[in-house]
Structure 1
Amino acid sequence: MHKWLLLTAAILLEVTGTLSLRAALDHPGWYVLVACGYIGAFVALSYLLRLGVGVGVAYGIWAAAGVALTAVLAAVIFGDPLTGVMALGIALVIGGVLCVEIGSQAAHAERATRAQEGHI
């Protein structure tokens, strides 16, 4: 559970930083939130990696969720376009990350089985 909270925090902090970057174009005061968002996201990711989450899984989920959430929120907040093709692309990215996660879980299960059998 702690891992998912850290990952969620990393995603939300990165999205906050990215959306603040857009807001800072017109109001430079937002750059403070840009820096805090990105620094916080990387700190949360580093703690997540220390807990043993694979870098490919952590980064994949973080990036895919960040892209999806940023695209949707940018459309809502800033009126950025969000077309069907863009939505399909987001879905493909999320699907790819799910494949990485499923593959990672299978690899861990196989490694655990081999360790129990004395092969490792």
Structure 2
Amino acid sequence: MKTWIILFVAIVSEVIATSALKASDGFSKLGPSILVVVGYALAFYFLSLTLKVMSVGVAYAIWAGLGIVLTAIIGWFLFGQKLDVAALLGMGLILLGVIVINLFSNASGH
């Protein structure tokens, strides 16, 4: 369970950093730029801790997949970036893949 919490912290850190990257306006705004660097540093640190227990492919698939979906949701609400049906369907398939890995794969570290 601890591994999943650490992976979740890595994912949230990456999503915050990516959202701040948009807000940094090409690193021209100091506050969001600092958040980008700190967020990505935390994301990679916590992902590295996860890799002590979980295989790199599975951890990265979960990290990237959930990161994509969460970042798209934040983009929709904070930046007004609309998602069409194809984007929503694709993200649904990503979530389904993460669920399949977690429920049925022995490689996921549980």
The TM tier, using the shorter chain, reads: 0.7 to 0.9
Structure 1 residue 55: Cα displacement: 1.0
Q: Are 2:51 and 1:74 aligned?
A: no
Structure 1 residue 102: Cα displacement: 4.6
Aligned-pair identity in percent equals: 38
Instruction: Confirm or deny: 8 A CA contact 2:13 2:43 kept in the other structure.
Output: yes
Instruction: Confirm or deny: 8 A CA contact 2:54 2:107 kept in the other structure.
Output: no
1:48 to 47, 50, 54: 50
* Match of residue 9 from structure 1: 9
Structure 1 residue 99: Cα displacement: 3.6
Q: Give the structure, 1 or 2, with the largest relative contact order (CA under 8 Å, sep 6 or more).
A: 2
Deviations 1:22-70 (A, max 9, x none): 00017511111001111110000000111x1111111111111100000
Residue segments in structure 2 that go unaligned for 5+ positions in a row: none
* Match of residue 111 from structure 1: none
Q: TM-score, normalised by structure 2?
A: 0.86
Structure 1 CA distance, aligned partners of 2:24 and 2:108? 43
Structure 1 residue 107: Cα displacement: 9.3
Q: Which has the higher helix share?
A: 1
Deviations 1:70-93 (A, max 9, x none): 001110001011122111010112
* Match of residue 33 from structure 2: 31
* Match of residue 114 from structure 1: none
Structure 1 residue 12: Cα displacement: 0.3
Structure 1 residue 106: Cα displacement: 7.3
Alignment: residue pair count: 108
Structure 2 CA distance, aligned partners of 1:107 and 1:80? 32
Residue segments in structure 1 that go unaligned for 5+ positions in a row: 109-120
Q: Which has the larger radius of gyration?
A: 1
